Amino acid sequence: MVPVDGSELAECVLPHVEAFMKGFPLTEVAFVRVVEPVGLSSSAGPSMLENQKKMESDRKASAEEYLKQVVSRLKHEGTTIRAEVLIGRVTESLSDYAGNNGVDLILIATHGRSGVTRWVRGSVADKILRSANVPVLMVRAPGTKGGL
C-alpha cells in the first residue's frame, strides 16, 4: 500500500515503488488517498447538508483523478496497480485499509521531522508506523534531516 496525498513529498516514494516492482514479484500495489469528510454541526440546514455532499463528492472525484494520474506513470508487467479513495480520518482509514485488505507492506514518505516539531505538528507517517499491524517502510523526502 502506498498512501499519497497529492504532494511532492508523498510522491518521493514513486521511484522506490518502481524499484520494488522491478526487484520483487509483486502481484498488486494499491495507491491510496484519504479524503477527510467535511464536518458540519448537527443543526445545519438542508441546503448546507446538500453543499457538504457536493463538496465531498467533488473532493473524492479530484482524489480519484489524481490517483489515475499517479497510476498511469507506473507500469510493470505482472503487477496490478490499483487506486483507492477512502473517506475518513487519515491515520485510521489507512490502518483499517491495510488490515482489511491483506496489505503486507506500507511504503510512505516522511518529512524527517524530529523532536518538538514532530510532537507539535504530528506525523501521519509516524502514526501509521505506530498503528499498522504490517511493516512500514518510510522514505525520507530529499533534502530533509533528522528523525522520523
pLDDT tens for 30-39 read: 999 999 887 6
Which residue ranges of the chain lie beneath pLDDT 70? Answer: 39-45, 111-122, 143-148
Domains of the chain, residue spans = 2-140
Residue 36: count other Cβ atoms within 10 Å of its Cβ: 13
Q: What is the pLDDT of residues 8-49, one digit of tens each?
A: 888 899 999 999 988 888 889 999 999 988 765 556 667 777
User: 110 near 138, Cβ under 8 Å?
Assistant: yes
Burial letters 102-138, b for 16+ CB under 10 A, else e: ebebbbbbbbbbeeeebeeeebbbbebbeebeeebeb
CB 147 within 8 A of CB 110: no
Superfamily of domain 2-140: HUPs (3.40.50.620)
Please say whether the beta carbons of 9 and 141 come within 8 A.
Answer: yes
Listed in sequence order, the residues at least 6 apart from 34 whose beta carbon sits closer than 8 Å to its beta carbon are 3, 5, 85, 86, 87, 88, 89, 90, 93, 94
